């Protein structure tokens, strides 16, 4: 299955195509859920090309583009940056550019580290002079408070445990910020009304619902720099399949919205969400939701289910 037959599948399925209705020329929000339409935005394409990639509709790419855009908007050269659960993010050299220091942390060499952290970024990029690699468990942040202008974490906080643990990490991360500093986060979002915990190795994943996302700006001492937009389009490339289908088995399929499916008939529709938070209150602490969203997305999710069944064993069906 490739991208072309996928779009044929969507056409066959008569999934409504919304690209024309979405203006991709404007500035992208940094507090939003991933959307296939975002990959058509010139700024996203430009950031991906800076890290040597062409858009292939994978939400990891979207995280990179959002992170680089957040740095462009909120970071002033000469400031200090910290990263939590960084692994070997492709963007590390770009993030370090212009910073006094970039302190990159993960469980490097420690128990519980993912494959992503099996190598140290200073081994991979020895020429990046201002990189400081620290092995640190983010559940207990051992960096000086109020000493960073930009703190970033890409899809890592959802691996520290259940909701209270995630909120506690965000609270600690917020304390690292100097005045006017920002915390840039990406994490996993579930379209369900409640959080979804998927067990896994070396750690499980908590998919945050709108409720836990709200806690990130009501219980952490942090505030949104712009309202959090949880609305997504019904663009056919948002069609969710089992995440291992588009991540591993058929890497040419889009991995934008997807289905986490630990057991037959037990799973959740998900996507990635990004947020920019600051200690200052900008009056933007609200979530933008479409009450009819699940109804609108129903045909798209149903088509994703059918396509997934064509491509997987019944053990992953829903
Ligand atoms: C899905 S990977 C993401 C890696 C990297 N941020 C990226 O986007 O490529 C999750 C990362 O979180 C790290 N991690 C998990 N639990 C952690 C913890 N308690 N403290 C620090 N890092 C943790 C893992 O080692 C892994 O590198």
Percent of the chain with pLDDT over 90: 86
pLDDT interval class at 12 (50, 70, 90): low
Q: What mean pLDDT do residues 63-82 have?
A: 98
pLDDT confidence bin for 6, thresholds 50/70/90: low
Cβ of 154 closer than 6 Å to ligand 1, yes or no, is yes
Predicted local confidence at residue 7, as pLDDT: 58
Burial class (CB in 10 A: 0-12, 13-18, 19+), 232: buried
Tell which one of 91, 105, 107 to mutate to probe ligand 1, the residue whose CB is within 8 A of the most ligand atoms.
107
Give pLDDT, residue 195.
Answer: 98
**Cα–Cα distance, 220 to 251 (Å, whole number):** 37
Mean of the pLDDT values across residues 209-226? 98
Signed CA dihedral, 296, 6, 272, 198: sign only? positive
Q: Residue 65 sits in which domain range?
A: 3-316
Q: What is the CATH number of the domain that holds 240?
A: 3.40.50.150
Distance CA 113, CA 25 (A): 39
Q: What atom in ligand 1 is closest to the CA of residue 83? A: 6
> How does pLDDT run across 273-292, given as a tens digit for each residue?
999 999 999 999 999 999 99
- Computed on alpha carbons and rounded to an integer, the radius of gyration of the chain in Å comes to 19
In short, whether 243's Cβ falls inside 6 Å of ligand 1 is no
Q: What's the pLDDT score for residue 20?
A: 47
Distance 24 CA to ligand 1 centre (A): 31
Count of CA atoms in the C-beta half-sphere (13 A) of 94: 18
pLDDT of residue 123: 97
Mean pLDDT of 43-49: 97
> Does 24 have pLDDT greater than 60?
yes
pLDDT at 71 over 60: yes
Q: Is the CB of 113 under 6 A from ligand 1?
A: yes
Percent of the chain exceeding pLDDT 70 equals 93
Per-residue model confidence as pLDDT tens digits over 222-261: 999 999 999 999 999 999 999 988 677 788 889 999 999 9
Into how many domains does the chain fold?
1
Using DSSP, state whether 301 is helix, strand or coil.
helix
Q: What is the pLDDT of residue 5?
A: 60
Specify the residue with its C-alpha closest to ligand 1, atom 26: 114
Q: Ligand 1, residues 64, 65, 87: which to mutate, most atoms within 8 A of Cβ? A: 87
Has residue 60 got a pLDDT over 70? yes
* Pairwise CA distance, residues 318 & 308, whole Å: 9
């Amino acid at each position: 299955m490739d991208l072309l037959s996928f779009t044929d599948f969507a056409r066959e399925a008569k999934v409504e195509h919304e690209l024309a209705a979405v203006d991709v020329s404007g500035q992208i929000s940094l507090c939003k859920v991933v959307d296939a339409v975002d990959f058509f935005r010139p700024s996203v394409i430009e950031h991906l090309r800076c890290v040597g990639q062409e858009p292939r509709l994978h939400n990891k790419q979207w995280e990179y583009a959002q992170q680089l855009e957040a740095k462009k908007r909120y970071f002033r050269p000469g400031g200090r940056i910290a990263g939590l659960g960084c692994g070997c993010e492709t963007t590390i050299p770009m993030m370090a550019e212009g910073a006094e220091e970039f302190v990159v942390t993960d469980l490097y060499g420690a128990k519980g580290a993912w494959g992503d952290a099996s190598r140290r970024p200073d081994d991979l990029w020895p020429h990046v002079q201002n990189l400081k690699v620290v092995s640190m468990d983010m559940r207990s942040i051992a960096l000086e408070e109020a000493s960073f202008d930009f703190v970033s974490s890409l899809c890592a906080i959802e691996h520290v445990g259940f909701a209270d643990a995630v909120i506690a990490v965000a609270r600690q991360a917020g304390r690292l910020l100097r005045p006017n500093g920002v915390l840039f986060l990406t994490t996993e979002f579930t379209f369900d009304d409640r959080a979804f915990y998927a067990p896994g190795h070396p750690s499980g994943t908590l998919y945050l619902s709108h409720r836990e996302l709200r806690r990130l700006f009501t219980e952490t001492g942090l505030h949104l720099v712009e309202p959090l937009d949880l609305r997504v389009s019904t663009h056919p490339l948002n069609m969710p399949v089992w995440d291992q289908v588009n991540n591993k088995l058929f890497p040419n399929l889009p991995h934008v919205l997807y289905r986490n499916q630990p057991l037959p008939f037990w799973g959740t529709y998900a996507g990635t969400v990004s947020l920019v938070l600051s200690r200052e209150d900008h009056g933007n602490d609200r979530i933008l939701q479409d009450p009819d969203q699940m109804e609108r997305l129903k045909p798209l999710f149903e088509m994703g289910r059918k396509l997934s069944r064509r491509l997987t064993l019944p053990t992953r069906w829903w």
